[in-house]
Amino acid sequence: MQRKTFNWGIIAPGRIARRFAEGLSAIEDAKLHAVASSNEQRGKAFAKEFGASTCYLRYDELLADSKIDAVYIANPHRFHYDTIRACILAGKPVLCEKPLTVNAAQAKQLMALAEQHQVFLMEAMWSRYLPAWQQVKRWLNQNAIGEVKLLQSNFAFPIPRDENDRLLNLELAGGVLLDYGVYNVALSQFVMGRHPEKVLADGVVGNTGVDERCSVILNYGGVASQFTCSFQSYTENSFCIYGDKGKIVVPAYFWDTNKVELHSFDKSPEILELPYLATGFEYQATEAMNCIRQGKLQSDLNTWQDTLGTQQVMDEILAQVGVKYPFL
């Protein structure tokens, strides 16, 4: 029996939303039904390109559309809280770009609201669902590298010095940690499956007040995750997991990769190519759809506690580096 088509709505159809819409094309029973954009020209062009039947100029109009089964949110971090809250109150399941909110307090409030109203809520930490990272998890569960001892990763690219850009705008919750470093934190948590006991952070705060480099050690009770995220330089941008019997390497760009390597001390290297069906965003969309159809409020692969743990770690890093958002 053929499943009913799952209708998605997209709020803020920009660059990231484009990858999501392209990913939907790989899901047989998924469709982009509508978009909402404050920019009419961009919204209509996006809707036409991806076959959406409607373009709304206001978010509340999209949320009132009874045909929409779930909403994907891709606006700047600053606005996630209010947008997610509006979706939940409208009874619309939510898949929101990472980070879910600007801090852990906001995330807790939204999770409580989703629980109260029985509405599905999921952070779009898409890397967790990729075939390469699912393979990493299988190797770890199989004890392929023995006991994990050390994680090392970087996410760094220099950006143009445009102080009006979202990434450098304190009022929009700019900064390198929430944009780049969220992957280092979230995937360290994914590997370790628990919260670090200590967080040690050093960073550079630029003239606009946002963090432009964060160098961090997460101490998981003897296992350390060391990472740097930066707007100031290039790095290798890989993620390495070292055990006492070998290592797992997720090569650049580790958050967006279809390749993973297993290097054991007593075996030949195993290098796997695990190509995407489309853009890689299709895996998180499929997970969200499956959860919603099953009546779940959260994903077992990226629980609210997983999201909250990442937010709490980032709160501590930003506090140590000295970043404070004026709107909180």
Which stretches of the chain drop beneath a pLDDT of 50?
A: none
Per-residue confidence (pLDDT) for residue 1, from 0 to 100: 52
Q: Among the three residues 94, 126, 158, which one is the final residue of a domain in this structure? A: 126
Same domain? 101 vs 195: no
Per-residue confidence (pLDDT) for residue 163, from 0 to 100: 85
Domain assignment present for residue 250? The answer is: yes
Cα 75 to Cα 20: distance, rounded to the nearest angstrom: 13
CATH number of residue 255's parent domain: 3.30.360.10
Domain assignment present for residue 288? The answer is: no
Residues 55/9, Cβ–Cβ less than 8 Å: no
Same domain? 146 vs 74: no
Cα separations in angstroms, 30 against 24, 65, 140, 301: 6, 17, 32, 20
pTM, whole model, 2 decimals? 0.96
**What domain range is 108 assigned to?**
6-126
Cα 105 to Cα 318: distance, rounded to the nearest angstrom: 14
Q: Among the three residues 67, 91, 126, which one is the final residue of a domain in this structure? A: 126
Per-residue confidence (pLDDT) for residue 164, from 0 to 100: 85
Residues 103/315, Cβ–Cβ less than 8 Å: yes
Domain count, the chain: 2
Q: Count other C-beta atoms under 10 Å from residue 319's C-beta.
A: 13
Sign of the CA dihedral running 123, 127, 128, 131? positive
Q: Among the three residues 126, 146, 175, which one is the final residue of a domain in this structure? A: 126
Cα separations in angstroms, 20 against 56, 192, 195, 247, 280: 18, 28, 29, 32, 8
